[in-house]
Amino acid sequence: MIGLSAPWPTKGEIDVIENVNLATNNQYSLHTIDGCAHPAEALAEGQVNETGNVLTTSCFVNATGQATNEGCLVADNDLSYGAKFAQSGDGAFATLWDEEGIRIWFFTRSAVPPEMATASPSPSGWGAPTAFWPQSSCNTAQFFGPQTLILETNVCGNFAVDVFSQTCSQVAELCTDLVVTPTNYVDAFWEIKYIAVFSNSSGTSSASSASSGFTTTSGAGAGPTGGSNSASTLGPWTLLSPALMGAIVGYIML
Point out the residues that are catalytic: 13, 18
DSSP state of 17: S
Decide if 134 contacts 119 (C-beta within 8 A): no
Q: Which amino acid is at 108?
A: T
Decide if 30 contacts 24 (C-beta within 8 A): no
Q: Which of 99, 97, 95, 52 is nearest to 72 (CA)?
A: 52
- CA 139 – CA 164 distance, rounded (Å): 35
- CA 136 – CA 138 distance, rounded (Å): 6
Q: Cβ of 73: how many Cβ atoms within 10 Å? A: 23
- CA distances, 9 to each of 14, 31, 136, 145 (Å): 10, 7, 20, 10
